[in-house]
Amino acid sequence: MADPKGFLTTQRETPGRRPVDVRIQDWREVYTEFGAARLERQAGRCMDCGIPFCHSGCPLGNLIPEWNDLVWRQEWREAAERLHATNNFPEFTGRLCPAPCESACVLGIGADPVAIKQVEVEIADRAWAQGWVTPRPPRPATRSGKKVAVVGSGPAGLAAAQQLTRVGHGVTVYERADAAGGLLRYGIPEFKMEKRHLERRLAQMRAEGTEFVCGVNAGVDVPAAALRAGYDAIVLAGGATVPRGLPVPGAGLAGVHQAMEYLPLANSAVTASMGTGGADPAISAGGRHVVIIGGGDTGADCLGTAHRQGAASVTQLEIMPQPPAARPEHQPWPTHPMVFRVSSAHEEGGERVYAVSTQEFLGDADGRVRALRLTEVEFSGGRFGPVPGTQRELRCDLVLLAMGFTGAERAGLIDDLGVEIDARGNVARDSSYATSVPGVFVAGDMGRGQSLIVWAIAEGRSAAAAVDAYLMGESALPAPIPPTARPLS
């Protein structure tokens, strides 16, 4: 194990955040540097449990106690090898995953859990800085001659593509946006993950032989029939991109937008400004009174973006009551509990309002939203109902809907392929990630529904193993989870 007394002598510590008044003036990541010596002491808190429940919290099966021990012993390169053995993109998960592994940490039963997520990202960043992460193209003797199309370049698609390329298949990734990365590029703000981390991983994949075709909408620009004729297998990894709407009066007013309209435009503008010195997004919070409907991570991403764009005010609404500060009894260890969390964006300002529901959007003479009417709600009889006498108006001239997604887009590729859809609006698959159409597989949110980045990568790796077995009769690729796996609950 790591330090035998580490969990007794060392308190949990994580990096500080840059001052709010400084960081909202730029788009760089919010955290300050965390020295190697401090990080090694944090890794030393790991107890090397006989049954490491952190493995149960992580669908990737990350070898967490092993790389904690190696970091504590200052064997960083070996730690990086262990980390990459189960995770293609630890620099992504170390920044973006909410760390269900930490919720399942045995030390967390009676103390603060090990800072697993921070150890992970520090290992990954050091591996890149030291040049330990290099392209791993397949040997010529292992090239199969088989061709695979991966549709979608989010974390599931990238993981599937890298695994399949490395075992010798010719992989082409189709992305309808103008650059690869999916939500990693256009949904995640720069202050949560600078895009340089994505670019260097894409460069590695290209050097390994993966081909990226961007600005091409598979199923539209390239017909489904052409994909089936041109490839031996297809992996659908386009995500769950149908946003949940809010069917109330006034929802069609100008100024009411889905979060995934707003965030991609903001991210594109930030990228452009880095090259040209300035760019204004088509939808901006600058000088506006912003209301964000939805209290999850996407809502927080909108919040931090609105702060940096210079919003006059920002209010975030959530229909659920405020979560408790500590783990509730009905969500016992080792589950990932619903507790009150303060992200960097929340720390920067704005108001959070819980247990309310929007009843109507109110417009001005020009047809633009000027306010919304809301009411407090309480849960009774299996649904949320309004609390009499609590209606009020809230000023707003920009509304961002961040209420999640309802499934995969069917028009175009899905309809034309003729794959079956399940009752939840996702692409149906069997135990080997295969759809109802032979040779067509599905991974990530398109098959699972809206989920976490760590689940997307795990599904991409598992689907790659299934595709390899379909093409070659067997596969040595790891398959960390079946399609039916679910988070601890």
Q: What is the rounded distance in angstroms from the CA atom of residue 395 to the CA atom of residue 441?
A: 47
What pLDDT, on a 0 to 100 scale, did the predictor assign at position 3? Answer: 83
CB 92 within 8 A of CB 155: yes
Residues sharing a CB contact under 8 Å with residue 408, sequence separation 6 or more, in sequence order: 236, 238, 239, 240, 241, 242, 414, 421, 425, 426, 427, 445, 446
What pLDDT, on a 0 to 100 scale, did the predictor assign at position 454? Answer: 97
Tokens representing 247 are 């069917």
What pLDDT, on a 0 to 100 scale, did the predictor assign at position 274? Answer: 75
What are the beta bridge partners of residue 374? 358, 392
Q: What is the rounded distance in angstroms from the CA atom of residue 234 to the CA atom of residue 443?
A: 11
Tokens representing 343 are 């992200």
Backbone angles phi, psi at 36, to 5 degrees: -60, -40
What pLDDT, on a 0 to 100 scale, did the predictor assign at position 1? Answer: 65
What are the beta bridge partners of residue 363? 369
Q: Strands 242-243 and 405-407: what pairing?
A: antiparallel
Q: What is the rounded distance in angstroms from the CA atom of residue 271 to the CA atom of residue 478?
A: 35
CB 337 within 8 A of CB 102: no
CB atoms closer than 10 angstroms to residue 13: 15
Say which residue the tokens 């598979």 belong to: 218
Question: Which helix (DSSP H) or strand (DSSP E) does residue 292 occupy?
Answer: strand 289-293
Question: Which helix (DSSP H) or strand (DSSP E) does residue 40 occupy?
Answer: helix 36-43
The separation between the first and the last C-alpha atoms of the chain, rounded to the nearest angstrom, is 28
Q: Tell me, yes or no, if the pTM score tops 0.85.
A: yes
Q: What is the rounded distance in angstroms from the CA atom of residue 460 to the CA atom of residue 80?
A: 21
**Inter-helix orientation angle 76-86/116-129, to 10°:** 110
CB 234 within 8 A of CB 223: no
Residues of the chain short of pLDDT 50, as ranges, are: 276-277
DSSP 321-380: PPPPSS--TTS-TTS--------HHHHT--EEEESEEEEEEEE-TTSBEEEEEEEEEEEE
What pLDDT, on a 0 to 100 scale, did the predictor assign at position 273? Answer: 81
What pLDDT, on a 0 to 100 scale, did the predictor assign at position 279? Answer: 67
What pLDDT, on a 0 to 100 scale, did the predictor assign at position 370? Answer: 98
What pLDDT, on a 0 to 100 scale, did the predictor assign at position 458? Answer: 98
For residue 4, the 8-state DSSP code is T
What pLDDT, on a 0 to 100 scale, did the predictor assign at position 275? Answer: 57
DSSP 138-178: PPGGG----EEEEE--SHHHHHHHHHHHHTT-EEEEEESSS
Q: Which of 337, 341, 340, 320 is nearest to 328 (CA)?
A: 337
Tokens representing 265 are 């435009």
Burial label for 128, CB within 10 Å (0-12, 13-18, 19+), is: middle
Question: What is the percent of the chain with per-residue pLDDT over 90, rounded to a whole number?
Answer: 95
Cis peptide leading into residue 483 (ω within 30°): no
